[in-house]
Amino acid sequence: MATYKKTGSKAKKKHASVEDKSTTAEVFNTLDETASKSEKWVIKNQKTIFIVLSLIVVLILSYLPYQKYIKAPKEKEAANELAFPKVYFEEANKSLVAVDSLLNLGLNGADGKYGFIDIANEYKGTKAGNIANYYAGISYLKLKKYKEAIDYLEKYTSEDELLAPIAKGAIGDAFSDIDQPEDALDYYLKAANLRDNNFSTPLFLFKAGNTAMDLEQYSKALELFNRIKSDYPTSDEAKNIDIYISKATYASKK
């Protein structure tokens, strides 16, 4: 009986082995060439590399003393200064009389002490200087000085869960009070979308919805009111939201 003999397997294996060795050799040759080029580049540019590395070291060594001996003391000094006008701001929030006087004392300072305006200007770049912008903006808003309120609130930056959206929403309030509803709507939406929580988000969605109604953007208002109902059903704004949804629905069909 004839037996089928498999031929060529060893030859194929040998051929594959030769190819593997050849490919490996090419890889190593390429790596050698790359390494050689890198070495040549390093040798050619070693002076520049040394200068760059030296500058990085100098910057790091300069930054550490700056943080310790300049920035940290300035942060502490600014925080101490902020304590004085904050007392007047908090008193104004609790008081029923002389509110404007208290707010002005907070803004401008007294008895040789800085107010929010001075702290914001003198301590730029510090945490206290930054939050002084917030206090100044809110104070001006309460005093109905809307341009100043907007200016200071625009300067304030924050990652805080509540203060960040409240500052944006306060700008919306200022624009609303000077009869610029388009700008007010823009800032209310920014405030609502800046953070997602059960307090500021539905609050500014509600303000945005009512502003959209004033602008006769009824579909937009309906969308915002429905968002409150579906996403924030336990919020204060959701309690009577069906009334606003009905108004927006009716208006959008007219």
pLDDT tens sequence across 174-184:
999 999 999 99
Question: Do residue 51 and residue 153 come from a single domain?
Answer: yes
pLDDT at 3: 44
Within a domain: 106: yes
Q: Which residue has the tokens 């509803």?
A: 181
Question: Do residue 109 and residue 141 come from a single domain?
Answer: yes
* Beta carbons within 8 Å of 168's beta carbon, 6+ residues apart: 153, 187, 190, 191, 194, 204
Residue that is last in its domain, among 116, 131, 157: 157
Tally the domains of the chain: 2
Query: What are the tens digits of pLDDT across the range 189-240?
Result: 999 999 999 999 999 999 999 999 999 999 999 999 999 999 999 999 999 9
- The residue among 211, 193, 201 whose CA lies nearest residue 234 is 201
Within a domain: 242: yes
Within a domain: 17: no
Residue that is last in its domain, among 105, 128, 157: 157
Residue that is last in its domain, among 142, 157, 172: 157
Question: Do residue 122 and residue 185 come from a single domain?
Answer: no
> Could you tell me the CA-to-CA distances from 146 to 142, 149, 174 in Å, in that order?
9, 5, 5
| Entry pTM | 0.73
**Residue 166 in 3-state DSSP?**
helix
C-alpha to C-alpha distance for 84 and 12, rounded to whole angstroms: 89
Q: Which two tokens stand for residue 52?
A: 């760059």
Question: Do residue 115 and residue 62 come from a single domain?
Answer: yes
Query: What are the tens digits of pLDDT across the range 115-137?
Result: 999 999 999 999 999 999 999 99
Question: Do residue 173 and residue 240 come from a single domain?
Answer: yes
Query: What are the tens digits of pLDDT across the range 34-90?
Result: 656 666 666 767 777 767 767 666 666 555 554 554 466 778 988 999 999 999 999
Question: Do residue 127 and residue 147 come from a single domain?
Answer: yes
Within a domain: 42: no
Question: Domain of 138?
Answer: 47-157
Question: Do residue 172 and residue 227 come from a single domain?
Answer: yes
C-alpha to C-alpha distance for 145 and 123, rounded to whole angstroms: 23
